[in-house]
Structure 1
């Protein structure tokens, strides 16, 4: 059997399952957490079956990634994790490990960067991988060896769904987000450039630099680009996932029994 790597964005999966279970009637928080842990474990088993994975890992977030130091307002408006869930994370990790999947929690790095690094390293060795997440940040990395699966919608995301959702080609996503910003993560983008203007720029030009010097581009858009190019660069760094993190473990250690 050819190796296939299953990469689970652990908190992405857990928080969405928790959000549903927290709205159900339970006798106690403890009972709710037990139910939620069981559902997460069930999801992991289903993912192992449907992906035909030979190797698997569920990655959690570290404390503070480089993005928080690089840009002080990164995710500053995001609601904190519910305390009940935060206190129960050890139970979720144990539930995932019982399925045979390795659990990894870096000290500082975000799960997205760890997963992107693993997928990138695997693809360089012509090993396929499935990323399980609803986070749009993985979409630019879809390719012959990397697929992204939405467990809740039960579908694999592709270039067609990307174009329908964002109005730009997959290879223009990073520039699009760097221009338009990303409110969910408090990434600023270029002040005054909204979704439509960002789509126009990335769809009509090979680069932002080319757009900035084109005489036919709207003078107001050119002025905004000229005045806020530093925020475009900062935003592009923030929306780009790292693929070069030193992980400290090998693919062999992720093999399923």
Structure 2
């Protein structure tokens, strides 16, 4: 295989477009879904052109992934998908397939892990891919072969933008989220450690476990770290995307029709 692989986080794209269309909807739900499907398909066609992709796939989430079994509170406070959207997912999948793009829904895995696996397989073979998503979880994967593109801001993410947004280097994002937590996904982090303290600790330590012995940190912070190390390890597993999912298909099968 040669060329550029386009990897679309399908529900991320659909839900963002649906949110705008549903707020502006003045007709029936059926007509709104038709319009929304057309907008999603148009977005996919634009993304193929923008990335000059030779291969492409739109990935949906499977049922409860390993994270739900590993940590019972994972995404527990997240609002369910609107019924109108849930019932129309097959229509969205068909609309995307009409662009010539492969649509894939795993049995149990999350789209993020599937996309990360594909992107890293490409990178291992010195081939380029572009991930299209506003999900920050993809940012640790950014490298010379893996790009991340925000369709709604019309921009590629880079290391400077990441450091400006989070206050840490891209290579330390997983440590940062594991320590400070991630409320959007109900990932606990270390209790009592916020973003500011997490940034301070990360700037001083490549190995977070060493921070519990750092006397330049306040006794209160060291105590919180020692007490929260189990949650830190749990959180680190949750925020890190897997890159070893057994896909069941080859990259060659993703060539655009």
Report the TM-score range of the alignment, normalised by the length of the smaller protein.
over 0.9
Partner Cα distance (2:107, 2:10) in 1: 15
**Equivalent residues in 2 for 1:219-230, closer than 5 Å:** 219-230=219-230
Partner Cα distance (1:132, 1:27) in 2: 30
1:93: which partner in 2? 93
1:250: which partner in 2? 250
Partner Cα distance (2:147, 2:236) in 1: 22
- Runs of 4 or more consecutive aligned structure 1 residues displaced over 2 Å after TM superposition: none
SS of 1:103's equivalent?
Answer: strand
Size of the aligned set, in residue pairs, is 257
**Equivalent residues in 2 for 1:40-59, closer than 5 Å:** 40-59=40-59
SS of 1:90's equivalent?
Answer: helix
Partner Cα distance (1:94, 1:186) in 2: 32
Partner Cα distance (1:2, 1:85) in 2: 36
Q: CA deviation at 1:25?
A: 3.0
Q: CA deviation at 1:175?
A: 0.3
Q: CA deviation at 1:2?
A: 4.4
Tell whether 2:130 aligns with 1:134: no
Q: CA deviation at 1:115?
A: 0.2
Q: CA deviation at 1:218?
A: 1.5
1:175: which partner in 2? 175
1:22: which partner in 2? 22
Q: CA deviation at 1:3?
A: 1.2
Q: With structure 1 as the length reference, what TM-score do the two structures score?
A: 0.99
1:119: which partner in 2? 119
Partner Cα distance (1:182, 1:219) in 2: 25
2:236: which partner in 1? 236
**Equivalent residues in 2 for 1:5-20, closer than 5 Å:** 5-20=5-20
Partner Cα distance (1:218, 1:157) in 2: 35
1:213: which partner in 2? 213
Q: CA deviation at 1:215?
A: 2.2
SS of 2:131's equivalent?
Answer: strand
Partner Cα distance (2:134, 2:27) in 1: 30
Q: CA deviation at 1:213?
A: 1.6
Partner Cα distance (2:46, 2:64) in 1: 31
Partner Cα distance (1:123, 1:163) in 2: 23
RMSD: 0.9
User: Structure 2: which 5+ runs fail to align?
Assistant: none
Partner Cα distance (2:102, 2:52) in 1: 16
SS of 1:130's equivalent?
Answer: strand
Tell whether 2:205 aligns with 1:202: no
Partner Cα distance (2:109, 2:25) in 1: 36
Q: CA deviation at 1:216?
A: 2.0
Partner Cα distance (2:141, 2:212) in 1: 27
1:150: which partner in 2? 150
Partner Cα distance (2:117, 2:156) in 1: 20
1:67: which partner in 2? 67
Please give the per-residue CA displacement for 1:128-173, whole angstroms capped at 9, x wherever unaligned. Answer: 0000000000000100000000000000001011011000000010
